């Protein structure tokens, strides 16, 4: 029996990581002009071997160095220092119209920017002398356990970013046991996504203006074991996506084959609508939904119902009254309306209205692990990302998505340790100072 077999699987993994860190450290030293001969290197090897692994992990970071030159745009997922590094790589990889679709907000993109910028108005309080070497980042949601509170929000038409579309995303999320929500108008089938993820994902729902189509979508979700429908309620008034329009002008490709007029053509490549009669559908988004529709949907299925797009405490209270199972604070990544209301800014108001009776999810503008921490501190159960994982998908496929998740999780775990929070329940409103003005009203 080898020495490694004496340890548990978790201990073995940690030991291998420690050994790998030592090897990398020695490899770095071997290339250094400070080490002039083999005798010196051998002595250092003995010294490094005697250093406790935890101490080495803490001190080694400052000695990390790129092994090759990296330009302005990263060429592999390993080159990324943060998730924002993936955006220029995605822009380089995509046709201008496709990147424009991913990048755009509405009007002047001010709400899009507010989503992220408002995170800088929240400060984190730290506590010292707490042993946080072992932390638990698992999220419990509707009876399921996920490895992280970071989940993948629904983004439509991911085939515009990569040939494997949502299947590549599902593989990356499933490998890390992270939660994922599939868009009604995704390019991969629910069946394929569930298989790639390893467990049923949630389905974001655009119900259309034909109730028979809505019923067919519900049936398809139920037959595939979907635990929850996420009804999007923020696309009722149309939108002015100026950034998309500007970048589309730079794209001289013929797009009629993919973007012909009429609803049937619009969803012809969307698997959720396969074998469903859509001849009576006139609109996917502006369907005139009301609270009565939410009640009707609630009564039509045993799946859990979340409302995505709630941005006020008043609407959250109404959602409770009609019996929904959860709230999703979202403004469609700043592409629903130019309200200048960030999702993190309104989150406390919604959480207060809900009063802990149902879970509250949030997305919009999350770019750092510290952003995740701040959202959890203000009451979110889970924190979604959209553009970042699509940047990774567009640039590098599944490895790019995995790298984005790795970076955000690493940053999140780092701030948890720095703060002294060893589990999600220890991240509370007292963990932050919220300077967003309209959050205090």
Pick out the residues of the known binding site: 101, 183, 204, 206, 232, 239, 308, 330, 332, 335, 363-367, 386-387
Handedness of CA 86, 90, 92, 93 (dihedral sign): positive
Q: Quick check: is 332 catalytic?
A: yes
At 65, list the tokens. 């160095």
Which residue in 114, 317, 327 sits closest to 228, CA to CA?
327
Q: What phi and psi, each to the nearest 5 degrees, are found at residue 63?
A: -100, 0
Which residue in 266, 248, 196, 257 sits closest to 224, CA to CA?
196
DSSP state of 423: B
Number of helices followed by number of strands (H, E) in the chain: 17, 12
Residue with the two structure tokens 């809505």: 214
**Contact by Cβ (8 Å): 298, 278:** no
Binding-site annotation, residues for glyoxylate: 101, 206, 239, 332, 335
- Count of C-beta atoms within a 10 Å radius of residue 89: 22
Query: Could you give the C-alpha distances from 214 to 156, 232, 262, 287, 421, in angstroms and in order?
Result: 18, 13, 18, 12, 43
**Contact by Cβ (8 Å): 296, 322:** no
Binding-site annotation, residues for FMN: 183, 204, 232, 308, 330, 363-367, 386-387
Q: What phi and psi, each to the nearest 5 degrees, are found at residue 41?
A: -65, -40
Question: Which of the residues are catalytic?
Answer: 332
């Amino acid at each position: 029996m080898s020495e490694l077999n004496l340890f548990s699987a978790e201990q073995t993994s940690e030991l291998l990581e420690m050994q790998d860190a030592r090897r990398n450290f020695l490899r770095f030293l071997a290339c250094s002009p400070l080490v002039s001969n083999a005798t010196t290197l051998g002595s250092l090897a003995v010294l490094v071997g005697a250093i406790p692994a935890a101490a080495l992990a803490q001190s080694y970071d400052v000695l990390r160095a790129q092994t090759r030159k990296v330009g302005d745009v990263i060429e592999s997922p390993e080159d990324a220092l943060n998730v924002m590094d993936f955006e220029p790589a995605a822009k380089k990889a995509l046709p201008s119209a496709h990147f424009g679709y991913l990048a755009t907000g509405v009007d002047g993109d001010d709400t899009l920017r507010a989503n992220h910028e408002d995170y800088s108005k929240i400060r984190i309080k730290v506590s010292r002398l707490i042993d946080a070497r072992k932390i638990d980042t698992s999220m419990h949601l509707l009876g399921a356990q996920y490895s992280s509170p970071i989940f993948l929000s629904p983004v439509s038409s991911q085939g515009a970013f990569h040939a494997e579309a949502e299947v590549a995303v599902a593989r990356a999320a499933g490998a890390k046991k992270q939660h994922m929500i599939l868009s009604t108008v995704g390019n991969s089938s629910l069946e394929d996504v569930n298989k790639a993820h390893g467990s049923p994902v949630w389905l974001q729902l655009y119900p259309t203006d034909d109730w028979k189509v809505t019923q067919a979508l519900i049936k398809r979700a139920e037959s595939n074991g979907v635990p929850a429908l996420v009804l999007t309620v923020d696309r009722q008034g149309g939108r002015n996506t100026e950034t998309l329009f500007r970048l589309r002008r730079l794209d001289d490709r013929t797009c009629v084959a993919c973007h012909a007029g009429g609803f049937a053509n619009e969803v012809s490549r969307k698997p959720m609508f396969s074998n469903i009669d859509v001849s009576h559908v006139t609109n996917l988004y502006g369907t005139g939904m009301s609270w009565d529709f939410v009640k009707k949907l609630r009564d039509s299925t045993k799946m859990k119902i979340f409302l995505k797009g709630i941005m006020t405490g008043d609407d959250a209270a109404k959602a409770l009254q009609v019996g929904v199972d959860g709230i999703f604070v979202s403004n469609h990544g700043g592409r629903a309306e130019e309200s200048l209301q960030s999702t993190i800014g309104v989150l406390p108001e919604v959480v207060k209205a809900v009063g802990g009776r149902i879970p509250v999810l949030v997305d919009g503008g999350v770019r750092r692990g510290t952003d995740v921490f701040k959202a959890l501190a203000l009451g979110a159960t889970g924190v979604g990302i959209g553009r970042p994982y699509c940047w990774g998908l567009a640039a590098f496929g599944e490895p790019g998505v995995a790298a984005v998740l790795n970076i955000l999780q690493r940053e999140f775990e780092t701030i948890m340790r720095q703060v002294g929070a060893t589990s999600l329940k220890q991240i509370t409103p007292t963990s932050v100072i919220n300077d967003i003005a309209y959050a205090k009203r």
